[in-house]
Structure 1
Amino acid sequence: MLTDQKYYDEAALLLRMAENDQAALGAIMDHYTPVVYPYLLYWVKNAELVQEISQDVFISVWRNRHRLLEVSNFSGYIYTIARNKAISAINADLSRMRNEVKEEAPEITATSAPQVELKELSNLIDAAVATLPPKRKEVFRLSREEELTYEEIAERLSISRNTVKGHMVAALVYLRDYLKTHADIVWILLLFW
């Protein structure tokens, strides 16, 4: 089997992929999926979505196969793609949740006070952000409230851009989960207001 450690020759597989060999992609997938999948699952927390993202990671590798010979650290390359895909998925999930709240809000506001609902939702988000660890909270606020780029945050806090990204991914995952578990309580309270 190509993916057995004693037979796994990553450099040869990357060369074959650069030459459009799909079997080489299969061997790379067999080797990296057991590592990429749990990594994505840790951040995204949705097995079905993680399967799609895992496939997207390898599709990205295939689409950029002509550049693979320039990649000096392929495992780092795979992790970077996976991390970026996870961030995109988390951001998309948060956007979807915001849109759902906006879509539901007009129905609810017809029977209740809109200012109270918005204040309750704002309070819920503030409560979630308040429970973040201090450095993560600071990174999140600089990104969302001051709208600084990752580079600007890294410079201001004297940390690396990757550390900023890590804090943002962790914060977004936490906030998404927090809102999923606590938002229903707010909407129930608002319905009976």
Structure 2
Amino acid sequence: MDAKEDDIFLLKLISKGNEQAFKLLFETYFTPLCRFVRLYVKEGTQAEEIVLEVFENVWELREILHIKVTFKAYLFQSARNRALNYIRNNEKFIWMNDMSIFNFAETDSKLEEQELLNLIEEAICSLPEKCEVVFRKSRFENLSNKEIANEMGITVKTVEAQITKALKYIKEYLGDSYSFLW
């Protein structure tokens, strides 16, 4: 069984009230979701609270929850929505007379850029663990494929395959809206 089939199986058990299945799902996704939410909410404790709310919601709705995408995608989307709601509900408002100091075109551009970076990070966080590690070492630590292979005890071909897999997944994740990047 792959991760998607495992999640479907666990979700069926959870819908019947199986606490062990819920615990396993929680242990699998809690840390990656917290890392992801921290992209939006800088406080670690607040990020953890948001993720706990996501899992609490899953447990409360377990009997009627019908997921149309993968469970992993559902969790990340729920976490993103809750983080954005938190930001919206807790942001400080800028009064009109203070707004003259902003260059709105620049602000919009920076917001769009940040949103794209957040989407890319969301995609990276939802990669399989080994694939994510290889991709981060390649793109963020600037290690060569050979260095990654030596460090992780895998072949260079495996590193290349993982990077290719990651890039393909990220491209699909971003969809047509960002096809100009590729």
State TM-score, norm by structure 2.
Answer: 0.52
Rounded to whole Å, the distance in 2 between the matches of 1:51 and 1:35 is 11
Rounded to whole Å, the distance in 1 between the matches of 2:48 and 2:6 is 25
Query: Counterpart amino acid of 1:77?
Result: Y
Rounded to whole Å, the distance in 2 between the matches of 1:53 and 1:135 is 22
Aligned-pair CA distance for 1:72: 4.5
Q: Which runs of 5+ in 2 are unaligned?
A: 116-173, 178-182
Partner residue of 1:122? 99
Number of matched pairs: 117
Q: Deviations over 1:31-67 (max 9, x none)?
A: 0112111110011111111011010110111122123
Which one of the candidate residues 73, 76, 97 is aligned to 1:79? Answer: 76
Rounded to whole Å, the distance in 2 between the matches of 1:56 and 1:86 is 11
Larger fraction in helix: 1
CA contact (8 A) 2:41 2:83 kept: yes
Aligned-pair CA distance for 1:23: 2.1
Match of 1:65, SS state, is: coil
Match of 2:64, SS state, is: helix
RMSD: 3.6
Q: Deviations over 1:108-157 (max 9, x none)?
A: xxxxxxxxxx52x2224x347634427839x9xxxxxxxxxxxxxxxxxx
| Same amino acid, percent of matched pairs | 20
Partner residue of 2:46? 49
CA contact (8 A) 1:57 1:78 kept: yes
In our comparison, the structure showing a higher alpha carbon Rg is 1
Rounded to whole Å, the distance in 2 between the matches of 1:13 and 1:67 is 15
Q: Which runs of 5+ in 1 are unaligned?
A: 103-117, 140-159, 164-193
Matches within 5 A, 1:30-179: 30-68=27-65, 70-94=67-91, 97-98=92-93, 119=97, 121-124=98-101, 126-127=102-103, 130-133=106-109, 136=112
Query: Counterpart amino acid of 1:78?
Result: L
State TM-score, norm by structure 1.
Answer: 0.50
Match of 2:9, SS state, is: helix
Partner residue of 1:19? 16
Match of 1:44, SS state, is: coil
